[in-house]
Structure 1
Amino acid sequence: MPADDGAALLTSEGVGGLLEAAVTHAGGTLVAWTLDHIDANPSQSTTATYSAIVDWPYGRRDELLGVSARAHGLSGSDSRAEIFADGDREVAVWLYPFDPDLPGLARAAYPTSMAAVLNAYRAVAEPITPEQLDLEMVTYRPRRRAVLRASVHGGDTFFVKVLRERLFADVSQRHKLLLDAGVPAPRIAAGTADFLLVLGQLPGRPLARAVFDPVAPCTAEGLIEVLDAMPAAVADLERRPPWADSVEHYARMVGAALPEEQERLDRLARAVRDGLAGLPPGEEPTHGDFHEGQLHVADGRIVGILDVDTIGPGRRADDLACLIAHLSTIQRMNAEQEARVHTLLRDWVPVFDERVDPVELRLRAAAVIISLATGPYRGQEPHWERETVQMLDSAEALVRQVS
């Protein structure tokens, strides 16, 4: 029998008692709550966040509460949260932004402290006040990472990466390595002792928006060229396993949310594993998470590349497959947008096929799609079941092309 990873508790009404206890302990009264986001690692652990309305002595506020449950007892960093018991189980509960694995988040989340960071590191030409700074959460993966946009009124925009302690030095090193080689990564404006990496805004506009333009935002050759521009020293970094190496893990994660799809997921995972068996891991410099959300374009060319945390040795097919997978699974497009993206795929994939093995490209893209298929459930999208099935249909179509 699989170990109890807490997913059943954290997705049930039963978690309400824990949330209420945590809010009461903090001096408030829980008025209402809804599940916001869930990260499940089957048979190991589950972390979830909840949007809540809380009455405090000073008034009513919208809050975000986090809860982590584990199959095999608390982790060391759980002690930085409040520990509550549910029967025989202990869980860690925290109130945003006091994430137990992201110590810098509490400073990055408030204009007063974030303005002080920008001033201390002279990231801005003239000192700013908190009133001159707007903060917006871009992404938050509880206990993993967060990114906030910090916009100075009438001035620069920065992106604040909130990192775990063990990743901070490596991520900083990777940015510097690419910048020194002339690769258009974001400039580093500050790096703090509580693991905040403050980055300047890239020029151009995101490829994620430009893919819907009536003209092609860049060429397939330009996409390959920006990857080929990475310095050889990237291949000397620690290797990050490609998405395909974890395809069975992600298949189990998706199957835990949609058990009726487990048989198809197992079949697709086997096809990927068997089709890629025997291929060497590769020694090319790779980005590791290369897709339209990571690129900026202007005047038909790539002018910036984001999220270089994952660079390291690998196979070029992995990067190109990642891009194909993301473009193949964009959700909630209208008919015109869908036609634009399909045109890009039709034009770009044959060029990619000339650079890497076409069979490998499609199998690796299918593996990435299966990893992405965890997203709709994790983010508790309104129609997550349908969106997940559509993603699996896309993965299956790629596998069928080479079966």
Structure 2
Amino acid sequence: MPDDGARLLTGPSVEPLLRAAVEHQGGHLLNWSLDHVDAAPEQSTTATYVAQVRWPHGERTELLGVSARTGELSPTDGRAEIFEDGHRQVAVWLYPNDPDLLGLPRAAFPDRMAETLNVGSVLSRPVTAEQLSLSMIAYRPRRRAVVKVVVSDPHEVFYVKVLRERVFGEIHHKHALLRDAGLPAPEVVLTTDDHLLVTRELPGKSLARAIFEPGDPCPPEDLIRLLDAMPQAVAGLGRRAPWADAVGHYARMVSATLPELAQELSWLSAQISHGLSRFPPGNEATHGDFHEGQLRVAGGKVVGMLDVDTIGPGRRADDLACLIGHLSTIQRMNPQQEAKVRDLLARWVPVFDRRVDPVELRLRAAAVVISLATGPYRSQEIDWRQQTIAMIRSAGALVRQVAPTEP
């Protein structure tokens, strides 16, 4: 089996590489801990580490990133520092100097972000670094980052997407396509040469928050209408493989960290792949990653749709299954919250069943759950084992509603 670097980057043997990288920058590594892991089994592994470093000017907490590959390093690896452990080369960088996210240094610091907003005339008057509050919403090393920017005076909120060069133009086009069609996608107020896409905050509140408040956040029919309102031009964009197409890949990723689930996962992925083989790829306009975190609601209505990077041709069942999969795997709920989500699913799923094939819906939802089950380990949650097992049990429950056989 090709060595994808996972064992090296997730074990104690990575310390000499981290130490060498810090010393190369003029610091001394005091301690470190694994923060996040992205693995493509038998291909590559990228990991980040929270490190305490003593610099000549004092101690600081830093984020270090390391990428290892089974074959040759990629061209963008050369933007990082290259180190050897005696057997292989790895790319190492110090946040925010991510080798694939060239705009991250600009988005990570208030002074540079203020300058960017001012040069782009985004606000009615210039702002200073002291008027900005920056918070990292999401960071997938070497893939993407999202930074929330709050301006104190005048109060405005923006989200900065830090993108890779090869996807930047396409994602910008997708935002414009939906806005021009009247869809409530984010308004792009600024783009930069280093691939930052700055959008204005949408109205309302996140559906992820609203589902736990009294009353219904929105009718399920509104969710279907929103998706069906996407322009047909979306179906002419590049096709993104649905989550179910990679169920075997995600099952292997989970099995690699929890071998005791391997047999169950093998059965689940076989049932999903076989059950979905009769459905063609589809040419409906789809969101591609449709879940409660991507929607904004107000007054019992949907008023915004986020993260439209993934729009393209597919099947409506993929979008609705994605929402079901996410709602089925929310972690750390109290009993009242669990009851609220169960009630929503009990009332929303029958509505979705009238729009798409019920068997397809459940199998695709199970595939989404299996893909999400890689998250607790990647994020190094303290109880990642328990969370992962619970997610696989949830996927199993969905499959067993429609599967003809037991493992």
Q: TM-score, normalised by structure 1?
A: 0.99
Indicate conservation of the 8 Å contact 1:235/1:283, yes or no.
yes
The answer to whether the aligner puts 1:341 opposite 2:361 as a matched pair is: no
**Which residue does 1:151 correspond to in 2?**
150
1:73, CA displacement in angstroms?
2.2
Q: Residues of 2 paired with 1:324 and 1:278: CA distance?
A: 21
SS in 2 for 1:266: helix
**Which residue does 2:27 correspond to in 1?**
28
Cα RMSD (Å)? 0.6
User: Match for 2:41: what amino acid?
Assistant: P
Alignment deviations for residues 39-80 of structure 1 (CA, whole Å, 9 cap, x no partner) = 111111100000011111111111000000111121111100
Indicate conservation of the 8 Å contact 1:3/1:43, yes or no.
yes
Indicate conservation of the 8 Å contact 1:35/1:380, yes or no.
yes
Indicate conservation of the 8 Å contact 1:214/1:340, yes or no.
no
Q: Residues of 2 paired with 1:126 and 1:295: CA distance?
A: 30
**Which residue does 1:381 correspond to in 2?**
381
**Which residue does 1:106 correspond to in 2?**
105
Which consecutive unaligned segments of at least 5 residues does structure 2 have? none
Q: Residues of 2 paired with 1:28 and 1:125: CA distance?
A: 42
Matches within 5 A, 1:208-357: 208-357=208-357
Alignment deviations for residues 140-165 of structure 1 (CA, whole Å, 9 cap, x no partner) = 00000000001111311100000000
Identity of aligned residues (%): 63
User: Match for 1:114: what amino acid?
Assistant: M
1:277, CA displacement in angstroms?
0.6
1:87, CA displacement in angstroms?
1.2
1:379, CA displacement in angstroms?
0.2
SS in 1 for 2:48: strand
**Which residue does 1:13 correspond to in 2?**
12
User: Match for 1:310: what amino acid?
Assistant: T
**Which residue does 1:89 correspond to in 2?**
88
Matches within 5 A, 1:58-77: 58-77=57-76
Q: Residues of 2 paired with 1:153 and 1:293: CA distance?
A: 25
The answer to whether the aligner puts 1:46 opposite 2:38 as a matched pair is: no
Alignment deviations for residues 224-258 of structure 1 (CA, whole Å, 9 cap, x no partner) = 01101111110110111100111101111111111
Alignment deviations for residues 289-316 of structure 1 (CA, whole Å, 9 cap, x no partner) = 0000000000001000000000001100
Q: Residues of 1 paired with 2:251 and 2:337: CA distance?
A: 29
User: Match for 1:48: what amino acid?
Assistant: A
**Which residue does 2:189 correspond to in 1?**
189
Q: TM-score, normalised by structure 2?
A: 0.98
Which consecutive unaligned segments of at least 5 residues does structure 1 have? none
1:196, CA displacement in angstroms?
0.2
The answer to which of 117-126 and 345-354 deviates more is 117-126
Alignment deviations for residues 262-300 of structure 1 (CA, whole Å, 9 cap, x no partner) = 111110000000001131111110000000000000000
Q: Residues of 1 paired with 2:57 and 2:130: CA distance?
A: 22
Structure 1 ranges of 4+ moved more than 4 A? none
1:211, CA displacement in angstroms?
0.8
User: Match for 2:245: what amino acid?
Assistant: D
1:260, CA displacement in angstroms?
1.1
SS in 2 for 1:156: strand
Q: Residues of 2 paired with 1:17 and 1:135: CA distance?
A: 33
Q: Residues of 2 paired with 1:123 and 1:228: CA distance?
A: 32
**Which residue does 1:123 correspond to in 2?**
122
Q: Residues of 2 paired with 1:128 and 1:305: CA distance?
A: 28
